[in-house]
Amino acid sequence: MTPAPRFARWWWAGFRSSLAMLPRARTRRSLKLAIRQLLCPIDLWRYYELAAVLDSITASDRALDIGSPKVLAGFVRAAAGSAVICSDIAADALPRSQPGLEFMQCDAMRLPFADASISTLYSVSAIEHIAGTGDSVAMREIARVLAPNGLAVVTVPIVPKYEERWVDADPYGKQARDARGRVFFSRYYDWPALDDRIVCAAELHVRAMHAWQESPAGWYARYCRATARPASLRSIGTKLFDPVWAARCIVPVDGGPSHVTRHGIAAIVFEKRGK
For the stretch 207-261, pLDDT in tens is 999 999 999 999 999 999 999 887 788 988 898 888 889 989 999 999 999 999 9
Q: pLDDT higher for 82 or 134?
A: 134
- The predicted-structure confidence for 107-139, as pLDDT tens digits, reads as follows 999 999 999 999 999 999 999 999 999 999 999
Residue 180 pLDDT > 70: yes
Full strand arrangement of the beta sheet holding 205-214: 101-105, 83-88, 62-66, 118-124, 146-158, 264-271, 205-214, 250-252
Give which of 139, 49, 129, 63 is closest to 100, Cα–Cα.
Answer: 63
Mean pLDDT for the stretch of residues 191-215: 98
Residues in Cβ contact with 238 at an 8 Å cutoff, skipping those fewer than 6 apart: 223, 226, 227
Residues in Cβ contact with 135 at an 8 Å cutoff, skipping those fewer than 6 apart: 127, 128, 187, 197, 198, 201
Name all domains of the chain by residue range, CATH numbers in brackets: 4-271 (3.40.50.150)
Task: Supply the pLDDT for residue 265.
Answer: 98
pTM of the model: 0.89
What integer best gives the mean pLDDT of the chain? 88
CA distances 265 to 45, 52, 93, 133, 211, Å, are 7, 11, 22, 20, 6
Alpha helices in 157-269 (DSSP H): 191-194, 201-202, 219-226, 233-239, 242-249
The 8-class DSSP code of residue 213 comes to E
Q: pLDDT higher for 48 or 35?
A: 48
Distance CA 212, CA 265 (A): 5
Integer distance in angstroms from the first to the last C-alpha of the chain? 30
Distance CA 48, CA 93 (A): 22
**Peptide bond just before 23 cis, omega within 30 deg:** no
- The predicted-structure confidence for 160-179, as pLDDT tens digits, reads as follows 999 999 888 766 666 677 76
Share of the chain above pLDDT 70, in %: 89
Least confident of 37-46, 119-128, 264-273: 37-46
Task: Supply the pLDDT for residue 240.
Answer: 85
**Counting Cβ atoms within 10 Å, is residue 63 exposed (0-12), middle (13-18) or buried (19+)?**
buried
Task: Supply the pLDDT for residue 4.
Answer: 61
Contacts of 7-12 spanning 24+ positions with Cβ under 8 A:
7/47, 7/243, 7/246, 7/247, 8/243, 10/42, 10/47, 10/50, 10/71, 10/75, 11/41, 11/42, 11/243
The model's confidence at residue 93, banded by pLDDT at 50, 70 and 90, is low
Residue 3 pLDDT > 60: no
Residue 104 pLDDT > 80: yes
The model's confidence at residue 275, banded by pLDDT at 50, 70 and 90, is low
Q: Report the 3 state secondary structure along 74-129.
A: HHHHHHHCCEEEEEECCHHHCCCCCCCEEEEECCCCCCCCCCCCEEEEEEECCHHH
Task: Supply the pLDDT for residue 212.
Answer: 98
Share of the chain above pLDDT 90, in %: 56
* 97 in Cβ contact with 74 (< 8 Å): no
Residue 32 pLDDT > 90: no
